[in-house]
Amino acid sequence: MKTYLVTGGAGFIGANFVKYMLKKYDDIKIIILDKLTYAGNLGTIKEELKDKRVEFVKGDIGNRELVENIFMQHNIDYVVNFAAESHVDRSIENPKIFLETNILGTQNLLDISKQHWIIGKDENGYPTYKEGKKFLQVSTDEVYGFLNREYPDGKLLIDNGQLTVDNGLKIEELKKVLEDREVMPKIFGEKFFTEETALNPRSPYATSKTAADMLTRAYSETYHMPINVTRCSNNYGPYHFPEKLIPLIIKNILEGKKLPVYGDGKQVRDWLYVEDHCKGIDMVINGGKLGEAYNIGGFNEEQNINIVKLTIDTIRKLIIDNGQLAIKEEYKNIVKCNLNDISYDLITYVQDRLGHDARYAIDPSKTVRELGFYPETPFNIGIEKTIKWYLNNQDWVNEVVSGDYQKYYEKMY
C-alpha cells in the first residue's frame, strides 16, 4: 500500500487529484495537508473526508514541526505538492506570501522528505534513499515566460489533412492524440515551450513557482533526491475557485453581471481539463524518470476572448428550453437575469494586467512519448462538462464566495 502526502488537497487541482486517485486505486492512503486559505475549502472534499483511506491535517507546509509529525506518524511514499498561493493578480498586490508559501514552504517539504527517506551514502558521498519514494512538485507553464503571438487569429493545427507545424512535437504521436477529436486545435504561433526552454518567469507568482521548481531539481542534483517536476498549462473543470477566468465568467453570466476581460482579450493560453492533468501527474509519479521535468498540456490553445464567448454560447445552449424559448425550469432559480441579457454585450474590456504575458503554449510530447500521456478532453467537451457542473453545484459556489473572497472581489472589480 502506498501512502501519499497531498498538500493543497482542499484546493482546485489537489482536490480533483485526491478524487481521481481514490477512484483509481483501492489500496492507497492519502494524507491531505492544507492551510485552508481563502482558496481551500473542505466542502470540496467532504465526501473524501468520510473515506477511511483519507486523513486531513490543517496546517502550513512551511511548519517544520507539523510536517515532521506527519512523517513520524506515517510511512510517506510520495509527496505531491500542490499547496501554493496560486493567483497571479494577488501576487501583484502582495508578493510576500507567495515567496513564503511557494518557495520556503516547498523547501521545508523537500528538507523533511529528504531527512526521512535517506538511508545512507554512496561511494561519492551522495545520499541514498529508501526504494520507491518520490517528491513531485506541481509547477506551471508560467515558469517559461511568454511566447509571441504570431497568428493573431490562430490557425488549425491540421490544414488540408497535413500537419503544418514542426516544432519538436512528434507528428505521429500528435496525430494519435488528436485523431478522435471532432474539432482540431488551433495554434497561435510556431514556437512551443519544451522542458528544455530556459525558465524566464515574469510575475511574482511565476517567479516564486520557478524558484520552487528549480529548488526541487537542485535537490536532485545536489542530494540525488528522487523527484519529478510537472509543468502544466491552465487547468479548468469542477471545483475551480471563482476568481479564475472560466468560473468567474460562468458566475457573472448567471448573475447578468459584466464580464471583465483584460486588455484586448487576445492573450493565448493552453487549457487542460483538470482530470487529464490528474491522470498525467499519476503517470509521472509511476513512470517519470527521476530528476526530470515533464510538461502536461491540453493541445487546446485559445484566446481569452474566445473562451469568454464560447462560455456565453454554451451556457445559453444548456439553460434554454428551445420549445419555450425560455430558461429551463430546473435552472430558473439559478439564473438571476433574463435570457436576453446573456449575450456578448456583457463583455467589458478592463485595463490589462501588469506584465500580462501574450501567449503560453506547451509541447507535452516528451510526456506523450515516455509515459503515454495524452489529454483526452477537447475544449468544447470540457467546457460543457464544466458549465454543467457549475449549474448543478451552485451551493458549492455560494459557500466559497463569501468572506475573504467577497472583499477581494469588491476591491478588484
Among 4, 5, 6, 7, binds ligand NAD (CB under 6 A): 7
Task: Return the range that interacts with ligand NAD (CB under 6 A); candidates 11-19, 21-29, 283-291, 360-368.
Answer: 11-19
Cell numbers found for residue 171: 507528428
Cβ-based nearer residue to ligand NAD, 129 or 311: 311
Q: Is 40 in the site for ligand NAD (CB under 6 A)?
A: yes
Nearest approach, Cβ of residue 205 and ligand NAD (Å): 8
Q: Is 107 in the site for ligand NAD (CB under 6 A)?
A: no
3-state secondary structure labels for all residues of 68-87 = HHHHHHCCCCEEEECCCCCC
Q: Is 8 in the site for ligand NAD (CB under 6 A)?
A: yes
H helices within 102-244, ranges in order?
Answer: 106-117, 171-178, 204-223
> Interface mask (CB under 6 A) for ligand NAD, residues 121-160, using x and -?
-----------------x-x--------------------
Assess contact for 144 and 360: CB atoms under 8 A.
yes
State the Cα–Cα distance between residues 360 and 270, nearest whole angstrom. 6
Q: Is 404 in the site for ligand NAD (CB under 6 A)?
A: no
Cell numbers found for residue 61: 507546509
Neighbour tally for 89: CB within 10 Å: 15
- Could you give the dihedral angle defined by the CA atoms of residues 147, 149, 246 and 276, in that order, rounded to the nearest 10 degrees? -60
State the Cα–Cα distance between residues 174 and 347, nearest whole angstrom. 35
Catalytic: 282? no
Assess contact for 38 and 9: CB atoms under 8 A.
no
Among 5, 31, 32, 37, binds ligand NAD (CB under 6 A): 37
Phi, psi angles (nearest 5°) of residue 388: -60, -45
Q: Is 145 left (phi over 0), alpha (psi -120 to 50) or beta?
A: left
| Amino acid residing at 158 | I
Cell numbers found for residue 310: 464560447
HSE-up of residue 404 (Cα within 13 Å, Cβ side): 10
Q: Is 375 in the site for ligand NAD (CB under 6 A)?
A: no
Cβ-based nearer residue to ligand NAD, 39 or 215: 39
Among 101, 108, 207, 377, binds ligand NAD (CB under 6 A): 101
Nearest approach, Cβ of residue 111 and ligand NAD (Å): 15
Which run of H or of E encompasses 118?
Answer: strand 118-121
Task: Return the range that interacts with ligand NAD (CB under 6 A); candidates 10-18, 114-122, 185-193, 356-364.
Answer: 10-18
Assess contact for 283 and 367: CB atoms under 8 A.
yes
Binders of ligand NAD: how many residues, by CB under 6 A?
31
- Residue labelled with grid coordinates 513520524: 72
Q: Is 342 in the site for ligand NAD (CB under 6 A)?
A: no
> Interface mask (CB under 6 A) for ligand NAD, residues 237-276, using x and -?
----x-----------------------------------
Nearest approach, Cβ of residue 258 and ligand NAD (Å): 23
Catalytic: 205? yes
Of 60, 128, 154, 152, the closest CA to residue 290 belongs to: 128
Among 21, 67, 80, 83, binds ligand NAD (CB under 6 A): 83
Residues 161-190 that bind ligand NAD (CB under 6 A): none
> Interface mask (CB under 6 A) for ligand NAD, residues 184-223, using x and -?
-------------------------x--------------
3-state secondary structure labels for all residues of 14-35 = HHHHHHHHHHHCCCEEEEEEEC
Q: Is 60 in the site for ligand NAD (CB under 6 A)?
A: yes
Catalytic: 55? no
Cell numbers found for residue 85: 498561493
Task: Return the range that interacts with ligand NAD (CB under 6 A); candidates 64-72, 79-87, 145-153, 173-181.
Answer: 79-87
Which run of H or of E encompasses 137?
Answer: strand 134-140
Q: Is 13 in the site for ligand NAD (CB under 6 A)?
A: yes
Looking at 142, 213, 282, 301, which residue is catalytic?
Answer: 142
Q: Which residues bind ligand NAD (CB under 6 A)?
A: 7-8, 10-14, 33-37, 39-40, 60-62, 82-86, 101, 105, 138, 140, 209, 232, 234-235, 241
